[in-house]
Amino acid sequence: MDCRVVVEAAIPVYDVSTPDEAIRIAISKTGEMLNPDLSYVEISMGSRTSPDGEALAPAFIAADEALVALELEMTVFNVEQEEHASRIARKEIGQRLENVPLKILSVEPIEEADGSTEAGGDGETPDPESEADNSAETSGDGSGDDLIPEFDDLVEDG
């Protein structure tokens, strides 16, 4: 099966004066750390709430330093179970974001066009070109079987 995993990261940012500036710098800094190896990871602002349930800005600023909550979302392919997908995502992202606290927020199986989930294999994450091919396959009329070559065809060509 394939799973969509969302990981929360606490990104430190220095010499900032506003939450918007801190968020922009944190997203840029995170993108630099993840690219080019994990360019398929989607980066967005996280959400925080107070103990009373009040929505808070994703950046906390004190003494011109900020801690920004970001959500990093990636698809993990060919896993046996959701826990396996979360471990893979945490490892892949954690290797590139050294000394950044991470927390798994959600793991959701991705359904195929026919409503079923795909049976798993080795749990490897895709390269960016493969993910682009997969999204192109599923974004059309659902019949895009000819867009991605079969594994055996790739092995014979190589």
Distance CA 62, CA 32 (A): 24
Residue pLDDT, tens place only, 79-118: 999 999 999 999 999 999 989 999 999 999 988 656 555 5
Residues paired with residue 69 on neighbouring β-strands, in sequence order: 10
- Residues in the chain, overall count: 158
Distance CA 153, CA 132 (A): 19
Model confidence, pTM: 0.68
Domain ranges of the chain: 3-127
Residue pLDDT, tens place only, 14-61: 999 999 999 999 999 999 999 988 888 999 998 888 899 898 889 999
- Residue 45: partners with Cβ closer than 8 Å, 6 or more residues away: 23, 27, 58, 68, 69, 70, 71
